[in-house]
Amino acid sequence: MALQPDPSSCDRANALYMAKLSEQAERYDDMVKYMKRIVALGVKGDELSVEERNLLSVGYKNMMSVRRTAWRTIQSHQDQAEQNGQADEASLTSQYKETVTAVSPSINLFRVTSCFSKTNP
């Protein structure tokens, strides 16, 4: 199911409202999508309000924290399976870890860091 309201249909005020609502619901992926909409509207880093900068930072920080925790948990299970000689479980865990790892690089951190510079690329 697609995110509703669609971030691309939001103006700056609505995207900001939805980002705050997403934060309260601890839906950081959604929060980041709404904040990315503000950036996509052409708002430069030095034009972001303090609140917008904080929301952008919190969204990415929490989104990445969840991914790091997931990776560490999976790695721990893989290590344990390998130590116990459970080759099948270790192999399955390794495959799953690749899936989880593949999600993280899709986050465009360059775009985020450019929001905090004086000029957007």
CATH at residue 16: 1.20.190.20
8 sits in the region (left: phi over 0; alpha: psi -120 to 50; else beta) called: alpha
Q: What band does 107 get if pLDDT is binned at 50, 70 and 90? A: low
Parent domain of 71: 7-115
Q: Tell me whether residue 1 is in a domain.
A: no
pTM of this structure:
0.73
Q: Whole-angstrom Cα distance, residue 105 to residue 28?
A: 16
Q: What is the pLDDT of residues 61-89, one digit of tens each?
A: 998 888 889 989 999 999 999 999 999 99
Provide the 8-state DSSP code for 47. G
Please indicate, yes or no, if residue 97 is contained in any of the structural domains.
Answer: yes
Mean pLDDT of 22-48: 94
Asked whether the beta carbons of 63 and 29 are under 8 A apart, the reply is yes
Query: Could you tell me the two tokens for 52?
Result: 């917008």
Give the total number of structural domains in the chain: 1
Q: Which residue has the tokens 């917008």?
A: 52
Answer whether residue 120 is part of any domain.
no
Q: Is residue 2 part of a domain?
A: no
Predicted pLDDT of residue 100: 84
The reply to whether 63 falls in a domain is yes
